[in-house]
């Protein structure tokens, strides 16, 4: 049984590429971060805002350590990936030997939150 809410990779890309830029393809729904559960591990992918105006922004992937109180109360975030562009993240970041795009589209990947 499929628990993943995404029906296509394009749907995911439209929601997250460049972060929070309104889009007619998604009826204005654009996000900069997503939390998901895959293989019993909590993850967060986010297009982090720059600390100072004019600085570069990056896509980060974190493991959310929620052992003490359970999700969504993460005790800490462990950075496991940083990418300059969305395409590089989708193609080159691996989780359990699978590309990020395979993981985010996996039938058993549960989308927990979007912001």
Percent of the chain with pLDDT over 90: 53
Residue 70, pLDDT score: 93
Residue 23, pLDDT score: 46
What span, in angstroms and rounded, lies between the C-alpha atoms of 54 and 27?
29
Q: Three-state SS for 103? A: helix
Examine the pLDDT at 3 and tell me if it is beyond 90. no
Q: Is the pTM of this model over 0.95?
A: no
Residue 103, pLDDT score: 95
Residue 101, pLDDT score: 92
Residue 29, pLDDT score: 57
Nearest to 30 by CA among 58, 11, 6, 49: 11
Query: CA quadruple 75, 81, 83, 89: dihedral positive or negative?
Result: negative
The model's pLDDT over 45-98, given as tens digits with 9 standing for 90+, comes to 998 777 777 788 889 999 999 999 999 999 999 999 999 888 999 989 999 999
Tell me the mean pLDDT in the region 2-10.
84
Measure the CA angle with vertex 60, ends 31 and 79; round to 5°: 135
Tell me the mean pLDDT in the region 30-39.
88
Cα 9 from chain centre: 13
């Amino acid at each position: 049984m499929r628990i993943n809410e995404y029906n296509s990779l394009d749907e995911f890309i439209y929601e997250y590429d460049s972060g929070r830029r309104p889009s007619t393809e998604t009826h204005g729904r654009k996000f900069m971060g997503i939390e998901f559960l895959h293989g019993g591990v909590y993850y967060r992918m986010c297009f982090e805002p720059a600390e100072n105006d004019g600085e570069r922004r990056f896509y980060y992937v974190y493991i959310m350590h929620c052992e003490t109180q359970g999700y969504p109360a993460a005790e800490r975030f462990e950075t496991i990936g940083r990418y300059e562009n969305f395409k590089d993240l989708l193609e080159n970041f691996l989780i359990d030997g699978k590309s990020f795009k395979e993981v985010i589209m996996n039938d058993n990947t549960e989308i927990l939150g979007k912001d």
